[in-house]
Structure 1
Amino acid sequence: MHSELSDIHTQIMWNRLISVVEEQAQTLVRTAFSPIVRESGDLSAGVFDMDGRMLAQAVTGTPGHVNSMAESVKHFLIAFPAETMQEGDVYITNDPWKGTGHLHDMVVVTPAFLDGRLVALFACTSHLVDIGGIGFGPDGRDVIEEGLYLPFLRLIDRGVKNQTLIDIVRGNSRYPTEAEGDILSLAACNDIGVERLIEMMREFRLETLRGLAEHIITQSRNAVEAQISALPDGSYSSSMRVDGYEQPIDLVATLTVKGSTITIDFEGSSGASSKGINVPLTYAQAYSTYGVRVLVAPDIPNNAGSLEPIRVTAPMNCILNAQRPAPVSSRHIIGQMLPDVVFGCLAQIPAIQPPAEGTSCLWNLILENHASTANGATGDFNRFSVLSVQTGGVGGRPSLDGLSATAFPSGVSGVPVEIIESISPLLFRCKELRPDSGGPGTYRGGLGQHIEIQNRDPVDFDLYAALDRIVHPPRGRNGGKAGGSGYVGLGSGRTLNGKGRQTVPAGDWLVVLTPGGAGYGAPVDRPREAVASDIDNGLVSAAAAAGDYSFGT
């Protein structure tokens, strides 16, 4: 590579490649029909070489989508070998075990051709608002109940759209226009990626990406291996108990540092659930790897090379390696807890200082009213299905307070209230930070939220609850205290379950308290001026400050 291009020239091309995939992602954001995609950035986009190795990912996107998509493209190449690909082809699947973990996520792959030669692959993922079945909740007893399954198929065959496939998707979705629009937006974003890549290759007079690909992967792998090699060899174990569905779930990990590799084994974790909170291994690998990367090698670009030195295993049929046909619709609830489990292992290495535990899993509020005269409803009421992304607090950090109402580790944004209210009859009665929910510590945990939602139409609506950290709140680190537990109930006072489909009666309203992040370090060591500032800003009450920090006593 050095005989062909200078280091500077190579770095310019590498950066250009990242800008190509970011424009690819932004095209998806601008054209998607689902609010969780266009408002929250719940997606992934990337470019791959012809061996299915991810060369660059867009900054916009989630670790669960990006890192599982990095494996998914290899499965596409098995279904559609490179030598069979044609210009104008586009491929699709939502296979949870060979895609990104559940049926609501579509993965689309498009080959890129330069002067008739295949030079790269583009892939992207986004969440569809509805894919049929019982809806987006954890109540399914198997993946068949959870919605329409698409094996590896041609979405577009040499420029001709597979209308039969589109018709099948439309026929199995409660919102067919949105489903079709989201699928076509995935194809459109890959098209932009292909166009920009070809422009780049012509500009730099490249006939192939092979040399650049080897440079990216080798440099990234070597950089991560160097960081791992600086850690002491050894095995470190950690466990976490979360609410689960039928019963609590134990997540148990042993992280082993050996030379230039890290292995994470989830032996000892709970078995698979009968409900849809199970996690396909690819999704468990995605978030576990991310947990290592953000602490051990945070500044190294994410690609096949930087992911290679980190290996993740889990016993067959445990909750982190559920096998088809296990239900997996709400796999994010358990999967997004895994960075905190990994942090528990890494905290035992003196040079590494992870934050305290946070809410971790998204508190997505899936709210629907499918009322129609066919199922007994009367009157002219609005039919809707919305996914309102909500967040809790992040744990306190070694030198900073935790972030409030922030999605870590997923990194998505909340859907604005104005958007939800404009596309549905829902009214947000309240949406504010939740005082005293941040765990006490030298560095306080981030605050959760207090949210209240009512239907402006005088009819019931349903909550598809997939929430956690209600019974088992985030735990503090280095003497910090636990964050506030979550809560879900009705304005009339009845407590609802953290998981499962439940009805909010007409005239009543939904009350949600998202969990707060845990504290880091002993509360007694928190500076007095910091406590006073928290009181002044309404983040901590005077009573809690007196009890937790002995402030004013």
Structure 2
Amino acid sequence: MMTKESGALAGIQRQIMWNRLIAVVEEQAQTMIRTAFSTTVREAGDLSAGIFDLQGRMLAQAVTGTPGHVNSMMESVGHFLKKFPAETMQPGDHYITNDPWLGTGHLHDLTVVTPAFRNGRIVGLFANTAHVIDVGGLGMGPEGRSVFEEGIYIPIVKCFDRGVPNETFFDFIRWGSRLPVELEGDVYSLCACNDAGAKRLVQMMDEFAMDSLDPLAAFIFDSSLRATVAEIAKLKPGTYAAEISSDGYEEPVTLKAAMTILDDAIEVDFAGTSGLSQRGINVPAAYCRAYSCFGIKVVVAPEIPNNWASLAPFRMKIPEGCILNAPRPYPVSVRHVTGQLLPDLMMGCLHQVVPDRVTAEGSSCLWNPPLRGGSAVSGQARGNKAVLPDFEIVTFNSGGTGARPTLDGLDGTAFPSGVRTMPVEATENVAPVIFWKKELRPDSGGAGRTRGGFGQIMEIGTKGELEFAVNAIFDRVAHAPKGRDGGLDGGNGGVQLASGNKLRTKGFQVIPDGERLLLLLPGGGGMGDPAARDPAKVARDVRDGLVSVENARALYKVVVSADGVVDVAATAALGRDRNR
């Protein structure tokens, strides 16, 4: 018979095991970062890692990773189990896919699932996802008119069978990519990552004398579900609607949501959202669910661990034929430029319920220009025309985040993806490109009581100033991030040549000899009346060169000298009410 004391001790032990499980999957993710070939993984952390029970339910995820990968990968393990049931798996097996509808939304993401064995018996599954630089096809960009143009399409297959590499599989990916060494190396990295997690799991189970993960899984799922439902119950029931605009490709895109808060669940209906595009900005449903759930969770239940049970109360209705529910074989290569707006859309609904918990809109979509040069862009060298060596590279960068109720937005920070900005030195080390400028963009943060984060200015050229190409995948140019509660919009993005000629925000374009690509990354929206901002903070931003003297006066009603000193009398003469 269990006493009160023994029950409390068991609860403490389960909590310790839960925390230990998170440490296991974090080591899993760090193994991938240390061994990855693609800079997107190694430098930016565009990945996810997690452990699943034998029913394909996620128990824990690594702290390192993106919501789009983690939350859609949560669905993908079930697809693996349908093709390869757990009881058929053997030690040393590794399974892989990049199917956008069974994985995480586009062909550049590889997902690997690996069984973990203890004493000859399967005890769990490890899964991970990583964004690789190249999978052939047109390359990462919106130009494809079907998924078949976007790269190698890998069904769920074994890449290792009982520890032996599937050479037929590796032959296909080597010959299907512009970067065969990097792609093959990344597959090995993903498998090594899962092996590291499996090894640590077995050590953990030995230490705690665990024959199965099932009791721990039941504890995790029960605790997470009850805690999430309890947080939902604190919200005012009702239906709350919002919408957000995107630049789109052929025409602007509108995302609409009606969020219904029930006693024990939150349902979101995307009726009224724009229809499918003929280009690669469409979003598979799993990716829509991934970022929508994330946008709700960071507001409603941010402290509750992310797993199958804590996400279960968030339910989505995504109409067929809308851009958030793309069927095969619609192009989806840059689904993030649409899908990463979804947390802002969710916060637009939740702002009507818990306004003190949400942010203003941010730049949201990553500004990660895929750059290409060499014979594929310029043809073969002829006469005196010099041509760059062949290269294909992606560099990850971000604009500003939206203002928070009590704090300013973050500058040049990726939200909601959470990936790291890649150091320019890392990119310059692997490709013949030069970053002539990378700095914060003054006056791009939306004015407010708390202001939006600042975007960036980036000027990119090549060695020898030779022509190269960008496959533009940018947004928030025609539709700036919106402020809230009287805060002003963030600065619009811009795509152009350094000489001033405008470029399209999406699509393959050549930067001529002697020219450079100039990117103006958007800033985040502001929150609250700008005239209520502390003049000392306005003066600080002027001193830092982030807010101009003109905007300090026009937007914040603060008169500041060029060296950042507030003219109190002149400010008072503007009729500024510091208490509002």
Calculate the TM-score normalised by the size of structure 2: 0.94
What amino acid sits opposite 1:478 in the alignment?
D
Structure 2 match to 1:176? 180
What amino acid sits opposite 1:155 in the alignment?
C
Q: Deviations over 1:275-325 (max 9, x none)?
A: 000000000000000001101000000001101111112111210000000
Please give the alpha-carbon distance, in whole angstroms, between the structure 2 residues aligned to 1:176 and 1:346. 45
Structure 2 match to 1:165? 169
Please give the alpha-carbon distance, in whole angstroms, between the structure 2 residues aligned to 1:494 and 1:372. 24
| Structure number with larger C-alpha Rg | 2
What amino acid sits opposite 1:397 in the alignment?
R
Structure 2 match to 1:497? 504
Pair 1:482 & 2:467 matched: no
CA contact (8 A) 2:94 2:191 kept: yes
CA contact (8 A) 2:44 2:422 kept: yes
Give how far 1:132 is off.
0.6
Structure 2 match to 1:399? 406
Give how far 1:382 is off.
2.1
Structure 1 match to 2:89? 85
Structure 1 match to 2:474? 467
Structure 2 match to 1:6? 10
Please give the alpha-carbon distance, in whole angstroms, between the structure 1 residues aligned to 2:416 and 2:376. 38
Give how far 1:381 is off.
3.1
Pair 1:386 & 2:393 matched: yes
Pair 1:435 & 2:442 matched: yes
Structure 1 match to 2:59? 55
Give how far 1:377 is off.
3.4
Please give the alpha-carbon distance, in whole angstroms, between the structure 2 residues aligned to 1:479 and 1:5. 52
Where 1:144 maps in the other structure, the secondary structure is: helix
Structure 2 match to 1:346? 350
Structure 2 match to 1:135? 139
What amino acid sits opposite 2:25 in the alignment?
V
What amino acid sits opposite 1:6 in the alignment?
A
CA contact (8 A) 2:374 2:387 kept: no
CA contact (8 A) 2:378 2:387 kept: no
Pair 1:417 & 2:421 matched: no
Q: Deviations over 1:470-521 (max 9, x none)?
A: 0000000000000000001001221001100001011100101000001000
Give 2:319's match in structure 1, choosing from 291, 315, 326: 315
Pair 1:255 & 2:259 matched: yes
Please give the alpha-carbon distance, in whole angstroms, between the structure 2 residues aligned to 1:314 and 1:187. 34
Pair 1:523 & 2:544 matched: no
What amino acid sits opposite 1:477 in the alignment?
R
Please give the alpha-carbon distance, in whole angstroms, between the structure 1 residues aligned to 2:236 and 2:8. 38
Alpha-carbon RMSD across the aligned residues, in angstroms, is 1.4
Flag structure 1 segments of 5+ consecutive residues without an equivalent.
none
Matches within 5 A, 1:335-374: 335-350=339-354, 352-371=356-375
Give how far 1:5 is off.
6.1
Q: Deviations over 1:26-51 (max 9, x none)?
A: 00000001111011110000000001
Where 1:222 maps in the other structure, the secondary structure is: helix
Give 2:238's match in structure 1, choosing from 234, 240, 260: 234
What amino acid sits opposite 2:342 in the alignment?
L
Give 2:286's match in structure 1, choosing from 282, 287, 293: 282
Structure 1 match to 2:122? 118
Q: Name the CA shift for 1:351/1:455 in 2 (closer, same or farther; >3 Å).
A: closer
Please give the alpha-carbon distance, in whole angstroms, between the structure 1 residues aligned to 2:490 and 2:26. 35
Give 2:454's match in structure 1, choosing from 441, 447, 456: 447
Give 2:69's match in structure 1, choosing from 65, 68, 87: 65
Please give the alpha-carbon distance, in whole angstroms, between the structure 2 residues aligned to 1:134 and 1:485. 28
Please give the alpha-carbon distance, in whole angstroms, between the structure 2 residues aligned to 1:252 and 1:45. 31
Bigger shift: 457-466 or 221-230?
A: 457-466
CA contact (8 A) 1:382 1:457 kept: no
Where 2:135 maps in the other structure, the secondary structure is: coil
Where 2:106 maps in the other structure, the secondary structure is: coil
What amino acid sits opposite 2:71 in the alignment?
N
Flag structure 2 segments of 5+ consecutive residues without an equivalent.
560-569, 571-580
Where 1:8 maps in the other structure, the secondary structure is: helix
Structure 2 match to 1:30? 34
Where 1:214 maps in the other structure, the secondary structure is: helix
CA contact (8 A) 2:375 2:387 kept: no
CA contact (8 A) 1:455 1:506 kept: no
Structure 1 match to 2:99? 95
Where 1:548 maps in the other structure, the secondary structure is: helix
Give how far 1:549 is off.
1.1
CA contact (8 A) 1:295 1:352 kept: no
Please give the alpha-carbon distance, in whole angstroms, between the structure 2 residues aligned to 1:336 and 1:518. 16
Structure 1 match to 2:463? 456
CA contact (8 A) 1:346 1:352 kept: no
Please give the alpha-carbon distance, in whole angstroms, between the structure 2 residues aligned to 1:84 and 1:115. 16
Please give the alpha-carbon distance, in whole angstroms, between the structure 2 residues aligned to 1:431 and 1:103. 30
What amino acid sits opposite 2:442 in the alignment?
P
Where 1:457 maps in the other structure, the secondary structure is: helix
